[in-house]
Structure 1
Amino acid sequence: MRPSIPYLLAYAHTIASRTADAELRPLGLTVRQFGLLAQLRDEPELTTSELARQLGVTRQSLHQMTGELERAGHLVREPGASGRTRRLVLTPSAERLLVAAHGPLARAEAEFLRGTSAREAEALRTLLRRVLARATDDEAWL
């Protein structure tokens, strides 16, 4: 019997995350935290509920991640649009961290995709982006 795509993706996620986390560890960052910072950079107006949904984590997990990033000086909370809400804002150190993470993430990607051609890697990236755009109804993936 051939393995299901959800199983393959989940297992690939485990291996890719482990590799990326190891590369990002010297920066004091996990791949999930990188994703949170990158998402906020791209969509700074997101509420915490929207951010949790887009990252595919629970609000509790998001709260834990944002707390760690706040303590590290990468995020601050500022008043939101309504005055009753708060929004997360990247600090200059977060911007520097996002730039610094490119090298480690490129190494993690190369390690994860070792043995595949550049064409195969790009085909995988394109297919995953199309699947994510459809699954999330968010054309920003394209």
Structure 2
Amino acid sequence: MSQDGDGIDLENSLGYVLKEASSALRIAMEAALRPLGLTVTQYSCLELLAQRPGLSNSDLARGAFVTRQSMNVLLQAMERDGHVTRPSEAPVGKTLPTRLTPRGRRSLQTASAAVRSVEVRMLSGMTTEDQASALRILRSMIGSLRDDA
């Protein structure tokens, strides 16, 4: 409870602390990716395409937690920069499958190392068992919230 009795005690609110951790992680990732000329969203897009080549704009937007419109603008810029390629016309339906270029793969390799160093730093105060427990607990929370949706 807050001091005046209304609301919640943010210092002890798991949701608030999760948001704070998410924000700190994003800031650290942005700092690590900035020298490489990438944003977290661009990195996410490269990573998603490496794991699942040919994803659509909508699939990429969902995976990177942005709107379809934002992803479309991002993909246009990444295509101009030579990181991805999309056909000028959809081979089937309206979907333009996106694929990494060799330049995109090289950028991803460098960016992945930078992001991994951030994650290692974030987890440095935890034992391997703590890390496994944290991952299990977070997955459980996600599952519980999705089950109720």
TM-score normalised by structure 2 residue count? 0.74
Q: Of Structure 1 and Structure 2, which has the larger fraction of its residues in strand?
A: 1
Find the residue that maps to 2:119 and give its secondary structure: helix
How far apart are the structure 1 equivalents of 2:146 and 2:48?
14
Task: State the partner residue of 2:116.
Answer: 106
How far apart are the structure 2 equivalents of 1:102 and 1:49?
23
How far apart are the structure 2 equivalents of 1:6 and 1:64?
31
2:73 to 64, 71, 87: 64
Matched residues, percent identical?
Answer: 34
How far apart are the structure 2 equivalents of 1:5 and 1:74?
38
How far apart are the structure 2 equivalents of 1:15 and 1:113?
13
Q: How does 1:1-142 map to 2 (within 5 A)?
A: 1=1, 3-78=12-87, 79-82=89-92, 84-129=94-139, 131-132=141-142
How far apart are the structure 2 equivalents of 1:120 and 1:67?
41
Find the residue that maps to 2:53 and give its secondary structure: coil
Q: Which 4+ stretches in 1 moved above 4 angstroms?
A: 129-137
Quote how far apart the aligned CAs of 1:80 are.
3.1
Superposition CA RMSD, Å: 2.6
List gaps (5 residues or longer) in structure 1.
Answer: 138-142
Distance 1:121 1:14, change over 3 A: same
Q: Do 2:84 and 2:104's aligned partners in 1 also have CA atoms closer than 8 Å?
A: yes
Which stretch shifts more, 32-41 or 3-12? 3-12
Distance 1:64 1:134, change over 3 A: farther
List gaps (5 residues or longer) in structure 2.
Answer: 2-8
Which stretch shifts more, 10-19 or 76-85? 76-85
**AA paired with 2:82?**
G
Distance 1:69 1:132, change over 3 A: farther
Report Cα offsets for 1:71-112 as digits up to 9, x if no partner: 221011114331654221110111112222232112211332
Distance 1:14 1:85, change over 3 A: same
Find the residue that maps to 1:86 and give its secondary structure: coil
TM-score normalised by structure 1 residue count? 0.77
